[in-house]
């Protein structure tokens, strides 16, 4: 029987990052993974493959819409779908292979197979039982469909099937205007698919700063996506390789239906803890199926911890990574801390949407006094040259102290620009601190500085 200090179950961003950190801190570490490759949902069937398709189709959009104006003449490229999927798969392979390399480098053992916890201190993988002082559940999440919908991953798909369709569909209905629906909906809209998004709420991207969501909605409509908001999907039926979505307006209860080649169900995800033996072990879970943990990621059973999508909080790879590192550092005797107030969220559409901290709505709800510094990318020289003037940077700062409370960006490289604000927030900076920091010209980052200036005496280029 192999003996370990720590065994992580699951090799997604939470498990693999935590395992590497644990090994770096001198703990004898293993990571259990039943998939053929490491990296979990994110690397295999989530963040990474979707980003490859987003990038490829953004290039196509650029060629179709902006090349001629830049003096780049000739026919726009046509789509070789099989090659685009091969490029996506190659990107995935490079990344999953990279984790395998990092495991070897850091001496993390990969225990191949699906793990379960027969009792505290033991992890069963296949027929083998391994001992571990600390066991971390890092098993992630899986798509949660709706009653009345049967997913076949061909005509009615989740994000997994949407990343490997046999051909580019002529029409697609996306159920849910959340992150997955809009990222993958954008991919297919750019490939020429007629995309219709049906969303239960009256706005897209629930929880997003309302002003930003409104602008985002406007830009997506301009890109050709159709939206039916305030509509609850009731049922999806399939016939002759087509699917029909029945939905009801929440306003007047009127019923409608749309038929399409493919239906993408993107109505959220739920923790994936099947087969771990949690209930036999007596591990407490929430109503939503998340594993209950304390502030140190400890479950109700001694020596068993949980992190990432398996516990409460935003289902984000980087949140799982931070928790993976924190749990490893805690076990090694350090005093780690994850600042849940500064976890950025990014939607990798074009333009990107990024946010961190409070929204105007959450600040109003708390009755807090705040000021808004907003700067349009229309005033940013670099963005204009790149045909990317649509969008803005919006910084929310405390009305009295000027401390940065949140930020919402929509525009070029928003997912990268947001980190300047994250660092500022981690250090408790004021908007003036960002405004007084010299920013190179001409960069997209200048728009961040301008928004910070707008929190004070005013932006220069507006």
Alpha carbons 264 and 193: distance in angstroms, whole number: 13
Q: Find the binder of ligand NAI among 132, 175, 291, 356 (CB under 6 A).
A: 175
268 binds ligand NAI (CB under 6 A): yes
Sign of CA dihedral 300, 144, 408, 383: positive
CB atoms near residue 30 (< 10 Å): 25
411 binds ligand NAI (CB under 6 A): no
Is 164 within 8 Å of 84 (Cβ atoms)?
no
Among 123, 142, 128, CA closest to 9: 123
Output 124 or 270, the one with its CB closest to ligand NAI: 270
Is 260 within 8 Å of 196 (Cβ atoms)?
yes
Output 117 or 197, the one with its CB closest to ligand NAI: 197
Query: Residues 128 to 147: which contact ligand NAI by CB under 6 A?
Result: 146
Catalytic: which of 65, 337, 441, 461?
A: 441
Alpha carbons 152 and 150: distance in angstroms, whole number: 6
Annotation marks residue 134 as catalytic = no
- The phi-psi region of residue 411 (left if phi > 0; otherwise alpha if psi is between -120 and 50; otherwise beta) is left
- How many chain residues bind ligand NAI (CB under 6 A)? 26
Under DSSP, is residue 137 helix (H, G, I), strand (E, B) or coil? strand
DSSP designation for 70: G
Q: Find the binder of ligand NAI among 219, 260, 283, 315 (CB under 6 A).
A: 315
Alpha carbons 94 and 245: distance in angstroms, whole number: 37
410 binds ligand NAI (CB under 6 A): no
Q: How far is the CB of 72 from ligand NAI (least distance, A)?
A: 30
DSSP designation for 276: S
Output 51 or 133, the one with its CB closest to ligand NAI: 51
178 binds ligand NAI (CB under 6 A): yes
What is the secondary structure of 362-374 as a DSSP string? HHHHTT--EEEEE
Is 262 within 8 Å of 169 (Cβ atoms)?
yes
Output 176 or 357, the one with its CB closest to ligand NAI: 176
CB atoms near residue 160 (< 10 Å): 16
Q: Find the binder of ligand NAI among 174, 187, 198, 220 (CB under 6 A).
A: 198
Residue nearest to ligand NAI (CB): 178
Q: How far is the CB of 207 from ligand NAI (least distance, A)?
A: 8
Alpha carbons 177 and 206: distance in angstroms, whole number: 8
Output 179 or 413, the one with its CB closest to ligand NAI: 179
Q: How far is the CB of 420 from ligand NAI (least distance, A)?
A: 19
Output 271 or 389, the one with its CB closest to ligand NAI: 271
Between 228 and 247, how does the x/- string for binding to ligand NAI read (CB under 6 A)? Answer: ----xx--------------
430 binds ligand NAI (CB under 6 A): no
Stretch that binds ligand NAI, among 105-113, 197-205, 219-227, 275-283 (CB under 6 A): 197-205
Q: Find the binder of ligand NAI among 20, 117, 173, 266 (CB under 6 A).
A: 266
| 252: phi then psi, degrees, rounded to nearest 5 | -125, 15
Tell me the Cα Rg of the chain: 23
Output 40 or 178, the one with its CB closest to ligand NAI: 178
40 binds ligand NAI (CB under 6 A): no
Q: Are strands 128-137 and 304-306 parallel, antiparallel or unpaired?
A: parallel
346 binds ligand NAI (CB under 6 A): yes
| Residues with catalytic roles | 441
Q: Which residues bind ligand NAI (CB under 6 A)?
A: 146, 175-181, 183, 198-201, 206, 232-233, 266-269, 315-316, 345-348
């Amino acid at each position: 029987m192999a003996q370990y200090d720590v065994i992580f179950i699951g090799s997604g961003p939470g498990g693999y990052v935590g395992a590497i950190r644990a090994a770096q801190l001198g703990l004898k570490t293993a990571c259990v993974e039943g998939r053929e490759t490491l990296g979990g949902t994110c690397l295999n069937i989530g963040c990474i493959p979707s980003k490859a398709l987003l990038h490829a189709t953004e290039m196509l959009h650029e060629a179709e819409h902006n090349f001629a104006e830049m003096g780049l003449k000739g026919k726009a490229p046509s789509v070789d779908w099989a090659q685009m999927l091969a490029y996506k798969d190659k990107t995935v392979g490079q990344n999953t292979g990279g984790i395998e390399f990092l495991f070897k480098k850091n001496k993390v053992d990969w225990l191949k197979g699906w793990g379960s916890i027969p009792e505290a201190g033991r992890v069963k993988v296949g027929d083998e039982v391994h001992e571990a002082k600390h066991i971390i559940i890092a098993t992630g999440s899986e798509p949660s469909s709706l009653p009345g919908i049967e997913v076949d991953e061909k005509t009615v798909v989740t994000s997994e099937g949407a990343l490997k369709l046999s051909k580019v569909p002529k029409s697609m209905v996306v159920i849910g205007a959340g992150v997955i629906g809009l990222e993958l909906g954008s991919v297919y809209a750019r490939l020429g698919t007629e995309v219709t998004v049906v969303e239960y709420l009256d706005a897209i991207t629930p929880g997003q700063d309302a002003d930003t969501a409104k602008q985002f909605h406007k830009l997506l409509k301009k890109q050709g996506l159709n939206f039916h908001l305030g509509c609850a999907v009731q049922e999806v039926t399939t016939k002759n390789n087509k699917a029909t979505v029945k939905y009801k307006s929440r306003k007047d209860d009127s019923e409608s239906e749309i038929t399409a080649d493919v239906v993408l169900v993107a109505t959220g995800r739920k923790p994936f803890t099947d087969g771990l033996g949690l209930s036999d072990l007596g591990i407490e879970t929430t109503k939503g199926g998340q594993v209950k943990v304390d502030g140190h990621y400890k479950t109700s059973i001694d020596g068993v911890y949980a992190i990432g999508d398996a516990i409460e909080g935003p289902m984000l790879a980087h949140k799982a990574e931070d928790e993976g590192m924190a749990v490893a550092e805690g076990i090694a005797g350090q005093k780690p801390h994850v600042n849940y107030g500064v976890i950025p969220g990014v939607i990798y559409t074009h333009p990107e949407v990024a946010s961190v901290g409070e929204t105007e709505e959450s600040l109003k709800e708390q009755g807090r006094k705040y000021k808004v510094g907003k700067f349009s990318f229309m005033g940013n020289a670099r963005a204009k040259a790149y045909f990317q003037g649509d969008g803005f940077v919006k910084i929310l700062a405390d009305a009295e102290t000027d401390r940065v409370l949140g930020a919402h960006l929509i525009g070029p490289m928003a997912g990268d620009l947001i980190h300047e604000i994250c660092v500022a927030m981690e250090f408790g900076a004021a908007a003036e601190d960002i405004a007084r920091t010299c920013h190179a010209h001409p960069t997209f980052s200048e728009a961040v500085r301008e928004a910070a200036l707008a929190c004070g005496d005013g932006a220069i280029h507006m």
